[in-house]
Every structure is written in C-alpha cells, then in structure tokens.
Structure 1
C-alpha cells in the first residue's frame, strides 16, 4: 500500500518521526543543529563550524545508520558533491538512504501512527550538492520521494523551514500529482478551506486528539494516569468512569493533593517533540488559534518556522501577529490549569472573558475544529450562546460557523451539532482509528498546499528556474525596486514596500552559491541558533 509524501515547515529534531535523514559529507561533519539526533558519545570536535561524528564510511557507501536505542533512528547521508556530479548523484543518495531505512523493521510506528514516518530536509541545499539550485532540486526530489513512498509503503515528510522553500515546493506539487489519496468530497472540502485560509477567514480550534499523536494523553487517559498515581483501590477506581470528567478529576485531586496534581500536569504536558499534525496546522496561513490543550506543542511548531504565536492570556496580542488562546490553561502556568469542577467554577469570570474570544471567532470567522470530540462543556455552552444570538438576529435561520474534522462517522453527534457546524468524518466505522487519523493528516497537508501563497519564492534567486517568462520579467522589475529601498525600509511607505518584497522572497538566499564551506553539511530544517540567522547558518 502506497505511502504519502508530506511537505511541512518544522524542525526535524523536534518533529516526531521514526527515522530522520541527516546530511553530511565524507568528513562526517554535521551542522550543530543536527547534534540532538546523534548520541553525545559519538560527537567530537563540536563547535560553530559543525561537529564530527565518530563513525566511518565503508568504501563508497553513502548512508550510515547512527547507533542508538531510542525509537527514532538517524541516518547520515553523504550530500556534499566535491566532484561536480550534479543532481542525479544527489538523488541517487536519497534513493539509497530511503531503501536503507526500509530495511530496518519497525513493528510499531511512534505513538500508534498507522504508518512509519521518515523525515528529511531538502538534501544538499545548504552547502551540499544542490547549493543555489533549490528549484531544480525540488522538481527532481519530490518524484523520488513519491517513488520511495509507493515502493516501501512508509510516509515521508519533506521538512522545510524557509517560506520561499515551502512556497516553491507547494507550487511544484500543485503543478503535478501531489498524491493525495482522498475521496472527492475531501478534495472539495480542502479547496473550500484553503480558499478561506487565503482570504483570512479561517481560524483553528485544536483539541486533545492532535496532541495524542505526539504521545500525550486524551482526557480519559489522563484520568487513568492520575488514578494510577493516586493508588485508588479497585472499587473507587471503577467508579471514576461513572463520574462526569470534572468530578473524576476533583476526586483524584483530593487524593493526590493540589501541589502534586499541578506538578504532574506541568511535567506531563511540558515541551517535547510535536506531531506532524501540529506542524501542518501551525503552517496554515491562519492568524487565530484556540485550544483546550495544556501543552506548548503547537506554539513550538509555529515558532520553528518563524511564526511566533502570542499565547493568550499570558501574553499581549500584537497587531498583525498570530495568536493562540488557551481556554483551559497552560502547563507552563500551573495555576491557570482548569481540570476539576471547582476550578471550572472558581475561574468562572476570567474564563467567560476567554470564551468571549471564541464567541467572536464563531461570529466572524469559519472555525476549523481539529482533534476534538465536541463534548467539552465550554464548547457546548459557547456554541449554544452563539446559536441563540444568531437566531435572534436572523429570525431563526441556521448558521454554520465551522467545520469539525472527525475521525470516525458518528451520525448522532453530527446531527446534534448540525445547526452550528458541519461534521466531516475521515472514515467509516470499519476503518481503524489510526488510519483515520492518518487520513486527517493527508487532508491537512492538502489544505496547506492549496492555501500557501503562490508568490513566496518570486524574488528568491535559488528558484528563478521555476519562473516562466512573465514571472521573470516581473521579478526583475521588483528587484530593481528593491535596490531603491534602504535595508529595513524607511518609516511609512518604505517599510510597507520592504515587507512586501520580503514576503515575495527577497533576501531569502544569496545571489550565488553559498560561502565556501566545502565539507559543511546542509543546515536546513534543524534548529536555528539565532532567532533570525539569515538564509544560511
């Protein structure tokens, strides 16, 4: 059965994968950003120029499996073309690496995912064999990845960080067959949601199901983990499932103590690897996000591609900047976490103010609900209040203010919410939940492709080969304009023009080849040592 190729903005060292391809050269030097993927005892001569890995090549081999006992395996791939062999040589290395990965048996993909996930950057586009030829590489690499996904049956995540790289990759996918194996109804839905996102009319609500893909517990699992810690006997333990969720949490809080409970939540929902769905959602051109989750994973995913989310109510929103509202609190602020019924009641006034933000989104945006069962008391109350307000204004006519992406078909729940939102199931009851969750990821990948602005690479010299004649003429004219704008712009019109040129890819990469760093590997898709390091690390 064929796998799928995802294109996503992320940091490969923090994206939950089963296997990761790490670019290097014959000297086995890797960029400092890749060091978290390699056991510390194998790292030597670490510094700003990179770190050497204490392994060795066997003859002409180009792929090395990095020893390690963890669930995620790293593979070193030789991408430095010292002999001018060109893109075919680089692509052969990618094929060889993916074939080597396929020979490693993985019985249980990370966190119960339906398919194994293999992550890689755009190999060789930093200081490797494709430096300065990103457009040509993407046009050749994507078909190679599709071929490997079909042959080996695993999923592949091509992980990019620069906006121009993502925009160019999505253009290549739109021009060909992106391989989205989805029913026609879901294709149409992706087109509708992509249009809304491009027009600034889409907001996103994230539930616990998204973070479950990163190994975090759902509400039911959280109650079970707390019960394990509390040491409740069998009869009390069995009775928990018959209590409303907030009351079960209240009983466990009494058994554990408030401090122990807060410490557990802070530790359990702290920073960690994020799931593919976090990165796909964070990359959508959306300004407003809302969640009932305590964890920081979606904001980590957004930060890793330069979309710093302002987290409300702990930070102040800024004009034009995207934000994330945490309705039930944040694990980084244990005092804010709403878990028990007493906490729901105690924080009533402040939570009403936060709920008002979601009210506003449901009235003024189309809200995409991902990873939620729609059984949360807050959501039910908010939806009822919005429905009542709209019925008063519109003489009882129904108004659907959102779309719920549900894993499984649930006719009763869809009918319950039909006045407020459209519920779209990923699969029928006969399809395993893990496969339905994977189909949701594929749908999010398609929405991301269709909603990505098509011009983010227009002024990036590395992608000039993608442009047609009319686009090249336009790019040349805009480059001339860029020469008239002082660096950083000037107050007023100059700043606006500079911002526009930046969105079109101006300054994304140097005009020619990267600096002479002969055996330095590709740094792309690893963590940035500086919030704004420039085009090459």
Structure 2
C-alpha cells in the first residue's frame, strides 16, 4: 500500500468508524495517553520512577512488568499502593478528550487505566454508564453503555501491573476477559492513547489473533504520526490497522 492508497484507506476507515458509532457497535479501548493531558504520568515515566526507587540513579534495562513485581516484592502491598496513589493522584481532573469520549455514549468504553478520570468525566457530563471494575460488577450491568476497567482500579486495589497480574489475568478476571473477547466478534474496535510497544496492546493483539477468523478490523489511532508502510504492513498481518492522524 503506497501513500495514495493509504489516504483512500484512511478516509474509508473513518467512515466505517462513524457508521459503527451511529449504529451502536463501536467500542473504544483507551490507554494512558488519554490521561497524560490531565497531568498523570505516562507508562514510561511511572516505570522510571519505580526503577529509581528500587535502584537509585542506576539505569536498569529490565522488563517493565518484572520491575513492577520486584517493587511490589521489595516494599509490600501497602507501600506499593501508597506510591501508586501518589503517582496517580486522585485530585486530577478529566481533560476534554475524556469528556468527548464519554459523550459518545459508546456501547463499550474499555480502559486499561487505573485512574478515575473517566468516572469523573461521566459525572461531569451527566452521562450514564455501567461501571465495571471487577468481575462481580458484570452481573449488575444493564443495557446501558459500559465503562469497563479491564485492569482494575486503584480504588479497589485490584490493578493489573506486575508480571504475575498479566499471567493470572484469566484467573482473576475471567468474566471481564470473556466479555471483552466477545466484543471483537460483534463490535468495531478502536484503540486510543496507546503506543504499539505497550504491554496492554500486546495483550489485546493476542486476543485479536485468537479470534482472527471472526472479527472486524481493529483500528489503532496514532496522533501526529506520518504513514509508515513497514509498520502498517506488520500490524495489518495481525488485523490491527493503524490510522496515522497527522
């Protein structure tokens, strides 16, 4: 696909997304990039702070999930959540993007963020969403829009961050996992606020590939990025279509 062909693809994809929104089969996955404009740390900034706490000024090349688990093991659960609550302060406010997204009244708004900014945006805008932060919440959800915090919340102290959390995800969140996997079969899915190196995206891609024969294209939005043919083709083979919005 050359640049000219990609431009046609991009315009068609945007039309497909608008159609899915109008017909109520659009679901959005929202990552840490959505909350960055509210003054919360990015994933990399959080990891750097944790690494410094563990190792001082020494630079350590280490898997992020292993680093989080070492931090947990070194300082214990209470301090682990205390520090994360300091990093991700409760006094931050939702930004315009949070508010614009919740006002779409999506069928499913799924976030891997642990903060409560989407909940605040829902209250600020007078929207109604079923808020799902743990498996037990699914049974009480009605037919309205759903905010699914697929990696838990700091408030409930059930976040997915450490390597063990990812490895045991199917055991700890079986109902949420199965619900989200089903979304890929029924909805058009858009990923926002993620980098392609994000472990959360890797988890999502794994789910996409497990349902490769029965899903619609999954779109990932990259802001202020130009078309990269090699990158586009690589993820296209995984049924992830990157929308470069310059």
Which one of 87, 91, 114 corresponds to residue 294 of structure 1? 114
Deviations 1:145-190 (A, max 9, x none): xxxxxxxxxxxxxxxxxxxxxxxxxxxxxxxxxxxxxx99766654
Q: Does 1:344 align with 2:166?
A: yes
Q: Does 1:196 align with 2:15?
A: no
Q: Which residue of 1 aligns with 2:234?
A: 416
Q: Which residue of 2 aligns with 1:113?
A: none
Q: Does 1:227 align with 2:51?
A: yes
Q: CA deviation at 1:275?
A: 1.4
Q: TM-score, normalised by structure 2?
A: 0.82
Which one of 213, 217, 221 corresponds to residue 401 of structure 1? 217
Deviations 1:43-68 (A, max 9, x none): xxxxxxxxxxxxxxxxxxxxxxxxxx
8 Å CA contact retained: 1:271, 1:297: no
Higher helix share: 2
Q: Which residue of 2 aligns with 1:250?
A: 69
Q: TM-score, normalised by structure 1?
A: 0.40
Partner-residue secondary structure (3-state), 2:211: helix
Partner-residue secondary structure (3-state), 1:323: strand
Which one of 177, 196, 211 corresponds to residue 355 of structure 1? 177
* Shift in CA distance, 389/232, structure 1 to aligned 2, threshold 3 Å: closer
Unaligned runs of 5+ in 2: 1-6
Q: CA deviation at 1:261?
A: 1.3
Q: Which residue of 1 aligns with 2:144?
A: 321
* Shift in CA distance, 218/354, structure 1 to aligned 2, threshold 3 Å: same
**CA distance in 2 between partners of 1:274 and 1:313 (Å):** 18
Q: CA deviation at 1:302?
A: 1.8
8 Å CA contact retained: 1:197, 1:285: no
* Shift in CA distance, 257/384, structure 1 to aligned 2, threshold 3 Å: closer
Aligned residues: 233
1:153-172 to structure 2, matched below 5 A, reads: none
Which piece of structure 1 moves more, 317-326 or 357-366? 317-326
Unaligned runs of 5+ in 1: 1-182, 394-398, 428-537
8 Å CA contact retained: 1:312, 1:324: yes
**CA distance in 1 between partners of 2:182 and 2:217 (Å):** 11
Q: Name the larger-Rg structure.
A: 1
**CA distance in 2 between partners of 1:301 and 1:246 (Å):** 29
Q: Which residue of 2 aligns with 1:205?
A: 29
Partner-residue secondary structure (3-state), 2:55: coil
1:442-457 to structure 2, matched below 5 A, reads: none
Q: CA deviation at 1:382?
A: 4.3
**CA distance in 2 between partners of 1:232 and 1:386 (Å):** 37
